[in-house]
Structure 1
Amino acid sequence: MLTTPGWAASSPLNAGWWNDTRRGLDERGFCNGLGEFSVEPLQVDAALYEHTCRDLPRLLTLARRWAHATGDSLRWARPDQRDLVAAYLDGPRRPVVARPDGIFVDGQLKLLELNIDSGVGGCFEVDYVQERFRLLLPDDRLHAPPVIPVLCELLRSLRQQCDERVFNLALITYPHFRPYHAALVHRLAETLDREVPGCRARVVLADDLRAGPQWMTDGERDYQFIWRFGALTHPPQAMAPVIAALAAARHTRTCVMSDPADLGVDGKLILASLSEAVDPGDTRAHTPALSQDERALIAAYVPWTRFVGPREVSFRGRGHELQALLEAERGLFVLKRSHSKSTEHVHLGAECSQADWSGLLGRAFEERGQWIAQENLRSPQLPFAYVDAQGAVASTPGSFTYNPFVFGERCAAPLIRIERNPMQRKVAMAVSSAMAITGTLVKAPPPSIS
């Protein structure tokens, strides 16, 4: 069950807590405007939360294996990254790092994009929000799961695979980062130094790295691990030094996180491939076999998604010519282009005029294989409470997205984005004035009475 705890309606706002929380938002520079932070968190039943946490790492691992087995990883890789993906495909698989975007529909999480090989954008923001709500918990039947400790746990497990007494970790930053994101990279380095025994994290530019006899080096120290803070969705010219450094690392003993082979597991195209694979009306003959459990997993979490191109498809149990279906029912669909950053090239038919939608369809069908059409799903609306300029609290119903961090086999607390305008539903940035955020509480069932 999904709800909000009703704190705003049942008791006065804790003014001291809110003032401290607002001060922390101001200091961190995110979601600190009016209406950008809900003091009413999402509340999830423990059974639903734990079930989702078990399933998501399995689904992400399946998606990765599927893309590699079908050969789609190389076909989907951005041209400037294809050689890098090929170089890592025959290497050992590293733990999945992802932050899939999803919404709940009738109590079931549906994933709108997988974001495998995502950066870790938003992890400090969510961890701070969870820390603040943890201070309000009335009893041990509610808890606010963390993010940063789960990330550190992944690094501790990887550290055990390194036989060096002290291991150095290079956090690759990008020179075009805004000061906000640049500061987060340094905060991550400080956190890993403090929380992961033996770790010495350093923030570097990709241009500073080169291959040494055994390890990647910056001339001052050898690095046993490289982790780039940020996705590779930026323009090719900006990413060229990063790609060169990761390619050089393949010929050393340095472990690279996230796995560069995952760059070919496009977060949008993979959903179309999986969705078609479990639809009897659309299954591609050449795809690998799926077990019954794998089919059930895909059917549960992957919404109706199709590659855009001239073809017949099955939708809601009936056959259709895809272009005619999309033209006639634009309000039911979203068009998305591969290799697009955040909400770039994401178009909701319900927010487009018929003329604009037809133009987008024309482009998508011309660029065959680069676009997907996805059913336009909407989450339930819940009452989220906000503090106004006078300090009063009022609840406003809002739809929300549920975006859990996944580090290897474990899920961390999700990033919750709340739509501020029902006609502007694209809220894919980790931090954006187009959305509000809040935290997540997990509610355990009441103790049984024997």
Structure 2
Amino acid sequence: MTATAGHHPWFGSYLPDRPGPALVREVLVEEMRDLGFHEGLVSARPLLVPPGSAAELYGAAARLLDLLRRALLASGPTARHRMAALGVDESLHPLFVDARLEERYCGCMARPDAVIGADGPRFLEFNVGGAVGGAVHTHMMTRAWRRVYGGAPPFDGPSLFGARRRLFAAVGEELRLPPAVALLGTVRDLPGVGSARYFDVEVDHLRRHGFRAEFFEPEELDRAYDPTGGFRFPLGLRHFTVTEWREHGIDLAPVRRALDAGCLFLAPQTAFLISNKKVLGWVSEGLPWMTGADRALVRRYLPWTRVVRDRRVGWRGREHDLGELLLRRRACFVLKKAVGMCGDGVLLGPSTDPAVWERAVGRALREEDSIAQEYVEAGRCATEVTDGTGSGTRPATIAPLLGPYVVAGRPAGCLVRYFASGESGIVSMYGHGALINVLVAAG
């Protein structure tokens, strides 16, 4: 494969037969209805990359996730010690279960965010847990492209719902539990989502494959108990974060009761500690127990990342005062809150006003709640979009943010977010005007 001029060779140049834009829009709109999908401008084809590129992306994601999990667990013998090492508020993590289950399953599902840098993938952060955004969109958009292209290869790749179903089956077999899963979440968390279909499509998938499954809003958990007081679902999908539910005024006591009654919601509370970006800083800087292979993995796939506090750091072969370095070389860095979602608490040095940047660096040094990360310019590739006006498709050069899902250590589909204008920057599922797509290995 060859790359189009100006486009990164990692993406390749495979183009499938071009389906008609009317068919694409019809199928996408039908599959994505009630999921918060923006219909005004949509991808006209999936993002297709060489199999070797996809394998590298998924493989690096799984290996880095395992390294981050080990780093978090090594930071202290108990959940309390690990929270202290991260400097987090214990009140934001009230839903721990048995320590063995926490440690066994905390890394069971994740979606990192990656861009394609000058020499391949660079992983900017890891979102770990069942509440990671975009999972339903990824599954349904993958299903839409299968319909558009008739289900033939390469559109027969990983199914995210299938991967989660196999995870539930494996955990159930390991713990000797019946095949019954409760999906716990709320549409209040999901901008633009108008119905429970967001959850019901996965419930239907599980039921078709022999599971007893049901979706519950938090106030409905009492329905999950049988007449004897037992909880009818031994496993669950934890599709929420404590922070968001507290912002909605949602009482967590019913969740605590369900946990105490024996339901294991995946991924458990410890997953959110792995998501803390300080863990990324720890492994980037290096930990005493890391092997040569661990360090090589980090050098290859992680940008330089450090926990922000008043100290000296090594960068590009020299020692620097961290605060002075961030102020002097603003255009080289990104500043991120250690805990945050959807791009909140992120400042890109190259596009941030110097005065704003200086105040943010000062605050981060005082609060010690942030990381600094070397800025990686995202590589470009070609795609096509259609706006539904009947004028067909138009080409676009984009800088995609890739979100490869890893479930039980295996590939489970890949979310793609991008600006149709081709600009790079802060991209999230909500609030920044990005389009979504999925990545497919082809060629």
Q: SS of the counterpart of 2:212?
A: strand
Give 2:131's match in structure 1, choosing from 113, 116, 119. Answer: 119
Sort the Cα spacing of 1:245 and 1:23 in 2 relative to 1 into closer, same or farther, 3 A: closer
When the two chains are superposed, the root-mean-square deviation of aligned CA atoms in Å is 3.1
Give 1:70's match in structure 2, choosing from 71, 75, 79. Answer: 75
Q: SS of the counterpart of 1:223?
A: coil
In the alignment, structure 1 segments of 5+ residues that lack a partner are: 278-286, 445-450
In the alignment, structure 2 segments of 5+ residues that lack a partner are: 1-9
* 1:408 matches 2:419: no
Shift of 1:26: 6.3
The whole-number CA distance in structure 2 between the counterparts of 1:175 and 1:140 is: 34
The whole-number CA distance in structure 2 between the counterparts of 1:16 and 1:38 is: 12
Sort the Cα spacing of 1:265 and 1:162 in 2 relative to 1 into closer, same or farther, 3 A: closer
CA contact (8 A) 2:327 2:358 kept: yes
Question: Which residue matches 1:109?
Answer: 121
CA contact (8 A) 1:226 1:257 kept: yes
Mapping of residues 351-430 of structure 1, within 5 Å: 351-368=351-368, 370-388=369-387, 389-421=389-421, 425-429=425-429
Question: Which residue matches 1:157?
Answer: 170
Sort the Cα spacing of 1:249 and 1:31 in 2 relative to 1 into closer, same or farther, 3 A: closer
Sort the Cα spacing of 1:107 and 1:148 in 2 relative to 1 into closer, same or farther, 3 A: farther
1:61-103 per-residue CA deviation (whole Å, 9 max, x = no partner) reads: 2211211211373123443134544x54454511521111111
Give 1:42's match in structure 2, choosing from 44, 47, 55. Answer: 47
Give 2:184's match in structure 1, choosing from 172, 195, 198. Answer: 172
CA contact (8 A) 2:237 2:267 kept: yes
CA contact (8 A) 1:209 1:217 kept: no
* 1:17 matches 2:16: no
Q: How many residues align?
A: 422
CA contact (8 A) 1:26 1:32 kept: no
* 1:441 matches 2:440: yes
Give 1:133's match in structure 2, choosing from 139, 145, 148. Answer: 145
Q: SS of the counterpart of 1:222?
A: coil
CA contact (8 A) 2:385 2:393 kept: yes
Give 1:59's match in structure 2, choosing from 64, 88, 103. Answer: 64
Mapping of residues 284-303 of structure 1, within 5 Å: 287-303=287-303
Shift of 1:205: 3.7
Q: SS of the counterpart of 2:395?
A: strand
With 387-396 and 307-316 compared, the bigger mean Cα shift is at 387-396
Shift of 1:399: 0.3
Question: Which residue matches 2:239?
Answer: 229
Q: SS of the counterpart of 1:64?
A: helix
- Matched to 2:240, the amino acid is G
The whole-number CA distance in structure 2 between the counterparts of 1:190 and 1:397 is: 37
1:222-249 per-residue CA deviation (whole Å, 9 max, x = no partner) reads: 221122223334164647733x455445
* 1:5 matches 2:18: no
The whole-number CA distance in structure 2 between the counterparts of 1:141 and 1:186 is: 27
CA contact (8 A) 1:150 1:407 kept: yes
Mapping of residues 242-321 of structure 1, within 5 Å: 242=252, 244-245=253-254, 247-248=256-257, 251-277=260-286, 287-321=287-321
* 1:323 matches 2:336: no
Sort the Cα spacing of 1:103 and 1:19 in 2 relative to 1 into closer, same or farther, 3 A: closer
- Matched to 1:234, the amino acid is E
- Matched to 1:382, the amino acid is C
Sort the Cα spacing of 1:152 and 1:252 in 2 relative to 1 into closer, same or farther, 3 A: same
CA contact (8 A) 1:59 1:297 kept: yes
1:272-325 per-residue CA deviation (whole Å, 9 max, x = no partner) reads: 111111xxxxxxxxx441122222222222211111111111122222211111
Question: Which residue matches 1:190?
Answer: 204
Sort the Cα spacing of 1:239 and 1:224 in 2 relative to 1 into closer, same or farther, 3 A: farther
Sort the Cα spacing of 1:38 and 1:20 in 2 relative to 1 into closer, same or farther, 3 A: same
Shift of 1:143: 5.3
Sort the Cα spacing of 1:113 and 1:239 in 2 relative to 1 into closer, same or farther, 3 A: farther
Q: SS of the counterpart of 1:27?
A: coil
Q: SS of the counterpart of 1:58?
A: helix
- Matched to 1:177, the amino acid is D
Sort the Cα spacing of 1:420 and 1:329 in 2 relative to 1 into closer, same or farther, 3 A: farther
Shift of 1:331: 1.6
CA contact (8 A) 2:21 2:386 kept: no
Sort the Cα spacing of 1:15 and 1:443 in 2 relative to 1 into closer, same or farther, 3 A: closer
Question: Which residue matches 1:336?
Answer: 336
Q: SS of the counterpart of 2:441?
A: strand
The whole-number CA distance in structure 2 between the counterparts of 1:33 and 1:293 is: 45
CA contact (8 A) 1:40 1:384 kept: yes
1:325-369 per-residue CA deviation (whole Å, 9 max, x = no partner) reads: 11122121111112223111111122211111111112111112x
CA contact (8 A) 1:145 1:440 kept: no
Q: SS of the counterpart of 1:113?
A: strand
- Matched to 2:33, the amino acid is E
Question: Which residue matches 1:283?
Answer: none
Sort the Cα spacing of 1:326 and 1:206 in 2 relative to 1 into closer, same or farther, 3 A: same
Length-normalised TM-score, structure 1: 0.83
Identity of aligned residues (%): 22
CA contact (8 A) 1:98 1:117 kept: yes
- Matched to 1:439, the amino acid is V
Q: SS of the counterpart of 1:342?
A: coil
- Matched to 1:54, the amino acid is G
Shift of 1:428: 2.0
Spell out structure 1 runs of 4+ moving beyond 6 A. 215-218
Sort the Cα spacing of 1:12 and 1:88 in 2 relative to 1 into closer, same or farther, 3 A: closer
- Matched to 1:127, the amino acid is H
CA contact (8 A) 1:349 1:357 kept: yes
